[in-house]
Amino acid sequence: MTKFYTDSFEETMKLGERFAQKIEQGCTILFFGDLGAGKTTFIKGMAQGLGIESDAISSPSFQYLKIHQGRLNLYHFDLWRLENCEQFFAQGFDEFLQDPQGVSCLEWAEKINLIQLGPTIKISLQHERENRRIIEIQDEKAPTS
C-alpha cells in the first residue's frame, strides 16, 4: 500500500493524472471514502491523464454509469444509490469490468461484494483536516512521487 497526502483539489487531481498515466487497460479500480472525500476529484485527474476533458467528469449520482472516451475508455460508476449487489449484475454492468479498451472506476465500491477480477486496485480517500486528504492506493504500480 502506498500513502499520499494532498492539500488541495488541484493536488488530488494531479495525483489522479499521474496514476492514470501508469494504469493498464482492463483495470478495475475500487474507490472508498466518505461523501466529499475526493473520489470524483481523483477520477477527474485520471480522466486528464487518459486524454479526457476533466470538465466532462462529474459524480453520476443519478446514473450508475457514465462512459468517457480517451486513450482508454473510462467507465465511471457511482454506486451510491445501488440497493444491492444483485442489481449491479442484473443490469449487466460487470461486462464493462476489465474491458481491454478501458478502465473501470467504481465509486462507493463497498456497495457491492468486492469483485476480484483481474487487476483490481483499491483506492481509499479520507479527510485528515479541512483541505488535506489521505489517499491510500493498494497496488504495486502506483506512482511513487
Q: Which residue has the cell 486528504?
A: 133
**2-57: per-residue pLDDT in tens?**
999 999 999 999 999 999 998 888 888 999 999 889 999 999 999 999 999 888 88
Q: What is the pLDDT of residue 117?
A: 55
* pLDDT grade for 114, boundaries at 50, 70 and 90: low
Kindly state whether residue 18 falls inside one of the protein's structural domains: yes
Question: Which region, left, alpha or beta, applies to residue 106 given φ > 0 means left and ψ of -120 to 50 means alpha?
Answer: beta
Report d(CA 137, CA 145) in Å as an integer.
13
Kindly state whether residue 111 falls inside one of the protein's structural domains: yes
Report d(CA 105, CA 75) in Å as an integer.
6
With pLDDT > 70 as the criterion, what percentage of the chain qualifies?
90
Report d(CA 80, CA 135) in Å as an integer.
20
Kindly state whether residue 144 falls inside one of the protein's structural domains: no
Domain range spanning residue 23? 2-138
Kindly state whether residue 145 falls inside one of the protein's structural domains: no
**What CATH code is carried by the domain that includes residue 100?**
3.40.50.300
Kindly state whether residue 134 falls inside one of the protein's structural domains: yes
CA 62 centroid distance within chain: 17
State how many domains the chain has: 1
Report d(CA 4, CA 67) in Å as an integer.
27
Q: Which own/partner contact pairs does 68-75 have at CB distance under 8 Å and 24+ positions apart?
A: 72/23, 72/25, 72/101, 72/102, 72/103, 73/99, 73/101, 73/102, 73/103, 74/43, 74/46, 74/47, 74/50, 74/102, 74/103, 74/105, 75/99, 75/102, 75/103, 75/104, 75/105
Kindly state whether residue 7 falls inside one of the protein's structural domains: yes
Kindly state whether residue 78 falls inside one of the protein's structural domains: yes
Cell readout for 44 is: 477527474
pLDDT at 87 over 80: no
Overall pTM > 0.85: yes
With pLDDT > 90 as the criterion, what percentage of the chain qualifies?
50
Averaged pLDDT, 63-75 = 91
